[in-house]
Structure 1
């Protein structure tokens, strides 16, 4: 799946520089290894005649960025002096990829890149919560403070009876949890967030989930990684977010594979496989979901349009156009899908498409 930020790529022309490499920060010499990796990448970029301004922009983006947390990878796509994609990958790529080509290379982002996950993190206790929102408007932080007086019973206080310190403490805690629940619900609804990660005291997490409406409780993921204000838990939080992203990625793959298999069995025309038919779906605009498997190093021909692509020139001649470019299929087909606002998913052994590529159409043709 592509982050929405990639749509901006369609507004630029090549050559594009696409770079994917490991930048794990889990050893004492991580900085040295990063600099050595970049040195090798830059040398390869020079050999491939990458524009100087792109190399300079990428050097700054790579070496000036804050270090990763644990094992990580990076993805960069640049055009001219503009770095269009600068993403932390969910894991290191299998190998370093360096390309200078007419189109951006997007497949590794499908393998390892982030989905458009919008979420909040709420560190809760019975006095309130510290909330951080990662949504369409960027990062927003706020605190929901205690609204009902003390929530911790003083030592030696009475423990029963209406109006006793214990009862007042419990009532205050419930009101505070309710206030947090109201705020979390508002933020999820207002910003259309995908997930609410809730960390903090076990009872506070449980009480908060119980105070949320069902639609909101359904997107809560509880994290047992420490109490509110207990210190730095960035690595544990990053791991939890990665797990949720991967869970969603696998669920999307499962769903697409089931749909593709079902439509293939029905003979509805909505499920197609093979480079010929997939290119046809790109040309006629019916492509809904592109399923990329082990696509071999083959080429397609195209005119100036990113969606007028075909494995052979004859397929374009019926449209009255002549091929003007020869492009790598693993660049041209995903880029055409990007222009159509189609979803792009990686598939594994769930299906075995012809030519290593398949698709679902929006409508049968």
Structure 2
């Protein structure tokens, strides 16, 4: 997962409130369930002596966003009384997580968040398309109605109309081109990472063919959905979730391969001591987060330098002023140095639950 999506957290001032919970909207009592979860979150925040203004900011962000479709999780991080991150997760956490600490907690987003925070959905047919731009907790929609007409071939009983078949085909192509032009504009404007295309197979295929290569490479054709009324949104949501999951697994595969290849070459490290050293040097290309548990690291007064133990920090001429959770300190330090973040599974089991693929061998002159 690219770290640039978290850059605003690096410059924000804590303490931070990090909340992860199930906000699925797949039952008749979904609203009542959300109310209950928010009451539980409020209670936990009050037990941490969090100010009422912060609690109200969190609740306002949750209630003010468009409800998800089907199974979903939610991530909300506040710095002071300002919500600085608010995202839907592909999968809901098994239990509600509430943390109040000096640093934000990012691991659940790395594990269950969407790799691309902006994507397009395009429901296309012969006459045009319905396009929606999905950003973090916000959706905007528009329609493209092509000028091409007619778009339906004559029935067999209308033999005298067969001469219009070429005109119909050209009208459909014109409409598809108009959709392709608008999709391209939106991808360029928003930086969307994926374009999900719905509709009948012929319209989907024609649209992909009409897109420039740089946009076509981002296209994913969905079997469900479409422009007609009665679209099964839950099915479309499931397909989109599966695509994000597939890409996440591919990212883990890539990280695992690079981590294994880097062993013995100086291009990968593992364990708290070596990973914190690489982060201090700005050498980490990809931080691999496994089961860190309750491990801690130490930091200087300004939280600029971290180390696995006080002696290491003292050897650097800095007094260890803070003890931090490793699963909070390492990811935010990776973000500060533009390193990518990967939440590993059983494919990678680094020492101390943490590893890193490096930009260069630390013993090199690079």
TM-score normalised per structure 1: 0.90
- Tell me, what secondary structure is at the counterpart of 1:321? coil
Q: Where in structure 1 are there 5+ consecutive unaligned residues?
A: none
**CA separation of 1:130 and 1:21: change in aligned 2, threshold 3 A:** closer
Shift of 1:35: 1.9
**CA separation of 1:204 and 1:344: change in aligned 2, threshold 3 A:** same
Match of 1:8 in 2: 8
Shift of 1:77: 1.2
Question: In the TM superposition, what whole-angstrom CA distance separates every residue of 1:101-155 from its partner, at most 9, and x where no partner exists?
Answer: 111111111111222343322222222223333469x755444333332111344
- In the aligned structure 2, how far is the partner of 1:190 from the partner of 1:21? 32
Q: Does 2:216 correspond to 1:197?
A: no
Match of 2:148 in 1: 148
CA contact (8 A) 2:17 2:100 kept: yes
- In the aligned structure 2, how far is the partner of 1:312 from the partner of 1:224? 53
- Tell me, what secondary structure is at the counterpart of 2:159? coil
Q: 1:352 aligns with which of 319, 328, 349?
A: 349
Q: Does 2:280 correspond to 1:298?
A: no
CA contact (8 A) 2:126 2:203 kept: yes
Q: Does 2:322 correspond to 1:330?
A: no
Shift of 1:185: 4.0
- In the aligned structure 2, how far is the partner of 1:241 from the partner of 1:254? 20
- In the aligned structure 2, how far is the partner of 1:141 from the partner of 1:61? 21
Shift of 1:337: 1.0
**CA separation of 1:331 and 1:215: change in aligned 2, threshold 3 A:** closer
- Aligned 1:177-256 pairs, distance under 5 A: 177-189=176-188, 191-256=190-255
**CA separation of 1:221 and 1:65: change in aligned 2, threshold 3 A:** closer
Match of 1:308 in 2: 305
- Tell me, what secondary structure is at the counterpart of 1:171? helix
- Aligned 1:153-192 pairs, distance under 5 A: 153-155=153-155, 156-158=157-159, 164-189=163-188, 191-192=190-191
Shift of 1:174: 2.8
**CA separation of 1:142 and 1:297: change in aligned 2, threshold 3 A:** same
TM-score normalised per structure 2: 0.89
- In the aligned structure 2, how far is the partner of 1:135 from the partner of 1:41? 25
- In the aligned structure 2, how far is the partner of 1:273 from the partner of 1:70? 38
Further displaced range: 212-221 or 73-82: 212-221
- In the aligned structure 2, how far is the partner of 1:159 from the partner of 1:336? 72
CA contact (8 A) 2:76 2:87 kept: yes
- In the aligned structure 2, how far is the partner of 1:192 from the partner of 1:15? 31
CA contact (8 A) 2:4 2:338 kept: no
- In the aligned structure 2, how far is the partner of 1:66 from the partner of 1:96? 20
- Tell me, what secondary structure is at the counterpart of 2:249? helix
- Aligned 1:81-92 pairs, distance under 5 A: 81-92=81-92
- In the aligned structure 2, how far is the partner of 1:174 from the partner of 1:288? 45
